[in-house]
Amino acid sequence: MITTPENGPRLLAISDLHVAYPENRKLVEELRPHSGDDWLLVAGDVGENLDDIEWALDTLRRRFATVVWTPGNHELWTPRGDTTGLRGEDRYRRLVELCRGVDVLTPEDPYPIWEGPGGPAVIAPLFLLYDYTFRPEGAATQEAALAQAYAEGIVCTDEIFLHPDPYPNRESWCRARLAATERRLAELDPELPTVLVNHYPLVREPTRVLRFPVFAQWCGTVHTADWHVRFRAAVAVYGHLHIPRTTYYDGVRFEEVSVGYPREWQKRPVKPALRQILPATS
């Protein structure tokens, strides 16, 4: 349940909707704002199919005053049977066009400012990817980390479907996104706090609870470890891990807002729901 003062809009968030699953699609159909002034942050992994992604974001935009999206790895997949032929950067740009067509904000748009309760705060959707630097214990190099993952049989499907074109590899694409995003964040008004929205956690710590620690290398980059402090985050929002929870690092609230797969969320005592980001609930 979301608790908030009766008056005033809310900044809400969710991620990892995975609407290819009928159970998750039904969840999206049932999502409703508290008021017509609520904003919604969607932190990636809406789905893999462009039609599914468009349906979900359009559905949500018709209900919320503003919807802000950033991609997860699943949106960037070019799966078998995909008819678009789009890979890497071209696929991402197509997703940005799709969002703009349904009036959804993306990491390529000017960062909006939340002026509601708990604000003002700059809402910064980040598209950063990962660079294999969240390595397992004992793996000194990327090659060693990947070798360990293959040996354990725990390998992210990105290795098959997430193409980095025109970059030579995913870590190069990540470096380019880090550089461009860091410049934008550095140019923000230093008097305003931020809400940083990324598919992956900005710090390594949330991955420590993964059932298979070797999977962490597909979950972020060490190069954002201080961004929540440097860029004045009031809240950092992420998904990807499918472990919804609230944690604090350096006094900053981190909200993992994922729904996950039906086999995961159906085991939990509480049905997935929108997470309140601002105003703070405690």
Q: What is the pLDDT of residues 59-69, one digit of tens each?
A: 999 999 999 99
Helix or strand (DSSP H, E) at 55: helix 50-61
Q: What is the pLDDT of residues 14-52, one digit of tens each?
A: 999 999 999 999 999 999 999 999 999 999 999 999 999
Q: Is the pLDDT of residue 278 over 60?
A: yes
Q: What average pLDDT does the chain have?
A: 96
Predicted local distance difference test score (pLDDT) of residue 282? 67
E strand residue ranges, 157-251: 194-198, 233-238, 245-249
Predicted local distance difference test score (pLDDT) of residue 163? 98
pLDDT band at 8 (very low <50, low <70, confident <90, very high): confident
Dist. CA 199–CA 16, nearest whole Å: 9
Residue range 191-216: average pLDDT?
97
pLDDT band at 12 (very low <50, low <70, confident <90, very high): very high
What share of the chain in percent tops pLDDT 70? 97
pLDDT band at 77 (very low <50, low <70, confident <90, very high): very high
pLDDT band at 9 (very low <50, low <70, confident <90, very high): very high
Q: What is the pLDDT of residues 134-186, one digit of tens each?
A: 999 999 999 999 999 999 999 999 999 999 999 999 999 999 999 999 999 99
- Give the pair of three-digit tokens for residue 16: 């990892």
Prediction pTM value? 0.95
Predicted local distance difference test score (pLDDT) of residue 147? 96
pLDDT band at 281 (very low <50, low <70, confident <90, very high): confident
What share of the chain in percent tops pLDDT 90? 94
CB neighbour list of residue 118: distance below 8 Å, 6 or more residues apart: 11, 234, 277, 278, 279, 280
Residue range 82-88: average pLDDT?
93
Residue of 235, 243, 175 lying closest to 211 (CA atoms): 243
Predicted local distance difference test score (pLDDT) of residue 7? 63
Whether residue 202 contacts residue 196, with contact meaning beta carbons closer than 8 Å, is answered with yes
CB neighbour list of residue 174: distance below 8 Å, 6 or more residues apart: 128, 129, 130, 131, 221
